[in-house]
């Protein structure tokens, strides 16, 4: 599985070092891949490929001035960091250097936190890792739903074919019986005899296929019964 990508938006190298150094370790899936981007580069976050963004709010004013100076070239673009991250539609954490102690604000997919000395990298890392864990779980849930829907469609088709088995077997028996009579008909032209023999062989193959369906049906019943027994034993 691909590792998630955390995009760090900051012009201060110390900010990115604090984030990466204090990121919680995941012994099962490993840590994310970190990409550091200077504020002068993140004009089009909508086109960036990442799973979570962590931004230094001190970059916001410089970005805002940059956007204003380029307004003719960046028409309809967001004019500040929060708007840029919100427009991207992906989870983001903005770290502010000011604000009341314990400041926390959630708007859409953007979470704003205060840069409390000493603890902000740990808080950002814990929240960020939980966001990535949930996104991973949601992605697996969506994939499981798709697999389940496909399995249900195949099961419906299988049940229909099993239900039609008797009718098809009756038709195959009729075809097979008439093909046998034709093959053993005295004085039958060679071309017709060849065609009748091919028809008989095909009917035999189809009959084998539907016999296999009957066998599979029994196997599935036995497997479901055994699975139920194991579930009961595990729960007791």
Q: Domain extents for the chain?
A: 5-141, 164-235
- Cβ-contact 171, 203 below 8 angstroms: no
Q: How confident is the model at residue 6 (pLDDT cuts 50, 70, 90)?
A: very high
Q: How far apart are CA 210 and CA 33, in angstroms?
A: 52
Rg (CA), the chain: 33
- Cβ-contact 91, 124 below 8 angstroms: no
Q: Which residue has the tokens 């840029």?
A: 84
Q: How far apart are CA 172 and CA 94, in angstroms?
A: 70
**186 pLDDT more than 60:** yes
Q: Provide CATH code, domain 5-141.
A: 3.40.50
Q: Which pLDDT tens digit goes with each residue over 115-127?
A: 877 788 999 999 9
- Cβ-contact 57, 97 below 8 angstroms: yes
Q: How confident is the model at residue 235 (pLDDT cuts 50, 70, 90)?
A: low
Its pTM stands at 0.61
Tokens of 196: 């009748």
Instruction: Report pLDDT for 25.
Output: 84
Q: How far apart are CA 5 and CA 150, in angstroms?
A: 30
- Cβ-contact 9, 42 below 8 angstroms: yes
pLDDT-above-90 percentage for the chain: 19
**26 pLDDT more than 60:** yes
Q: How confident is the model at residue 101 (pLDDT cuts 50, 70, 90)?
A: low
DSSP of 80-138: SHHHHHHHHTS-EEEEESSSSTT-EEEETTEEEEE--TTTHHHHHHHHHHHHHHHHHHH
Instruction: Report pLDDT for 211.
Output: 76
> Which contacts of 113-121 are long-range, i.e. CB under 8 A and separated by 24 or more positions?
115/57, 120/18, 120/95, 121/18, 121/19, 121/21, 121/22
Q: Which pLDDT tens digit goes with each residue over 33-90?
A: 998 887 665 556 666 788 999 998 876 555 565 556 555 544 555 457 788 888 888 9
Rounded to 5°, the CA angle 17-19-23 comes to: 120
Tokens of 46: 């909508």
Instruction: Please state which of the ranges 7-11, 18-22, 90-94, 229-233 shows the lowest mean pLDDT.
Output: 229-233
Among candidate residues 54, 22, 21, the one with its CA nearest the CA of residue 35:
54
Among candidate residues 160, 151, 152, 170, the one with its CA nearest the CA of residue 213:
160
Q: How confident is the model at residue 93 (pLDDT cuts 50, 70, 90)?
A: very high
Instruction: Report pLDDT for 102.
Output: 61
């Amino acid at each position: 599985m691909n590792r998630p990508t955390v995009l760090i938006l900051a012009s201060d190298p110390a900010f990115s070092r604090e984030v990466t150094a204090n990121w919680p370790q995941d012994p099962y899936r490993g840590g994310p891949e970190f990409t550091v981007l200077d504020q002068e580069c993140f004009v089009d976050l909508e086109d960036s490929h990442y799973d979570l963004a962590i931004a230094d709010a001190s970059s916001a004013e410089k970005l805002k001035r940059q956007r204003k100076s380029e307004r003719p070239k960046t028409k309809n673009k967001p004019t500040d960091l929060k708007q840029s991250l919100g427009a991207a539609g992906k989870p983001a954490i903005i770290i502010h250097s000011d604000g009341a102690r314990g400041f926390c604000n959630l708007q859409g997919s953007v979470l704003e936190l205060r840069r409390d000395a000493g603890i902000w990298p740990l808080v950002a890392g814990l929240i960020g890792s939980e966001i990535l864990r949930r996104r991973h779980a949601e992605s697996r849930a969506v994939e499981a739903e798709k697999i389940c829907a496909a399995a249900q469609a195949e099961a419906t088709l299988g049940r229909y074919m099993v239900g039609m088995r008797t009718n098809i077997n009756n038709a195959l028996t009729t075809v097979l019986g008439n093909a046998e009579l034709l093959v053993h008909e005295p004085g039958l032209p060679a071309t017709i005899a060849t065609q009748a023999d091919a028809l008989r062989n095909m009917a035999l193959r189809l009959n084998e296929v539907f016999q296999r369906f009957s066998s599979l049906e029994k196997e599935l019943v036995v497997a479901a019964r055994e699975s139920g027994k194991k579930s009961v034993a595990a729960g007791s």
